[in-house]
């Protein structure tokens, strides 16, 4: 029996898809001779689509756009770790690209080709001789990854992860140093439900209530509130003027607890058993 005729193009993959699939499978690090110049239409169509999606994301949710930008920076620093460590270890690096897909821009500095591709979904650094099947010029063999000592190979392969640790430590220290400590908001809002059986619960303090004054003394900060509360003795009656979470104002009376410790922190009025914003 003769074979059924195959529809033209039914199983044939597009050249763009094939190149993109091979590029992803190779971690982006395809050989120079395998990189075929994409048509201007394909390249810039992809760029327009990506830029349009990012613009739409920025309009819909700027924080999501900031998150994407942070991921791109993180990927860049990850690959930068591989790039710098490989160069310092004497290995030959031929490519450093941001993105995959159609090439948007590239330039060559010495033996390294730097560039940007249209899809910002990754990055890659190409080091010659990354595995035993990677063909390279015999003149480059002494500088191939596979010819280096074990410590050097470990240094290069882990450099990307080390960069993530440095990023995390930098962000942690930077955020804590600049905004990590809670400052006074000038609004003493109750955050969350008061502890069960606490004076605050017994008098009806609720999540979202704002403390305005105690014993007719205006309270303008958490520090003032803590100092005022700890000054009372167990059994004293405290008059609290509050604005409720439904925007009504009233006075309530409570008796602070004697816990043996006036507070846990400037945010935690322990004798009231409430947590403050």
Based on the residue annotation, tell me whether 79 is a catalytic residue of this protein. yes
Question: Do residues 43 and 102 lie in contact, with contact meaning Cβ atoms separated by under 8 Å?
Answer: yes
Question: Do residues 51 and 99 lie in contact, with contact meaning Cβ atoms separated by under 8 Å?
Answer: no
> What one-character-per-residue DSSP string does 241-252 give?
EEE-TTS-EEEE
Quickly list H helices, 144-243: 150-175, 199-202, 222-230
Q: How far apart are CA 2 and CA 4, in angstroms?
A: 6
Q: How far apart are CA 273 and CA 202, in angstroms?
A: 11
Q: How far apart are CA 219 and CA 124, in angstroms?
A: 57
Q: How far apart are CA 99 and CA 155, in angstroms?
A: 24
Q: Which residue has the tokens 């591709």?
A: 117
In this structure, is the dihedral angle defined by the CA atoms of residues 27, 28, 30 and 36, taken in order, positive or negative? positive
Of residues 23, 79, 113, 224, which has the active-site annotation?
A: 79
Q: Which residue has the tokens 């400052």?
A: 183
The catalytic residues are 79
């Amino acid at each position: 029996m003769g074979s059924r005729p195959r529809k033209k193009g039914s199983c044939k993959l597009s050249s763009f898809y094939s190149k993109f699939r091979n590029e992803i499978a190779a971690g982006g690090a395809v050989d120079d001779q395998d990189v075929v110049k994409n048509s201007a239409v394909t390249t810039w169509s992809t760029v327009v689509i990506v830029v349009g999606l990012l613009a739409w994301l920025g309009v819909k949710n700027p924080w999501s756009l900031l998150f994407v930008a942070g991921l791109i920076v993180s990927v860049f620093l990850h690959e930068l770790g591989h790039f710098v460590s490989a160069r310092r270890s004497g290995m030959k690096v031929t490519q450093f690209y941001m993105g995959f897909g159609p090439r948007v821009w590239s330039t060559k500095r010495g033996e390294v080709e730097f560039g940007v591709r249209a899809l910002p979904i990754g990055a890659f650094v190409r080091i010659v001789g990354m595995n035993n099947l990677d063909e390279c010029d015999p003149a480059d063999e002494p500088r191939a990854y596979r010819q280096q000592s074990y410590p050097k190979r470990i240094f290069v392969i882990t450099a990307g992860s080390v960069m993530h640790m440095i990023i995390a430590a930098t962000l942690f220290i930077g955020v804590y140093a600049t905004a990590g400590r809670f400052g006074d908001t000038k609004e003493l809002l109750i955050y969350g439900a008061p502890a069960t059986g606490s004076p605050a619960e017994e008098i009806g303090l609720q999540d979202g209530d704002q403390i305005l004054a105690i014993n007719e003394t205006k309270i303008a900060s958490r520090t003032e509130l803590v100092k005022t509360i700890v000054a009372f003795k167990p059994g004293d009656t405290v008059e609290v003027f509050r604005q409720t979470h439904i925007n009504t104002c009233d006075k309530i009376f409570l008796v602070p607890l004697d816990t043996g410790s006036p507070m846990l922190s400037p945010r935690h009025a322990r004798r009231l058993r409430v947590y403050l914003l």
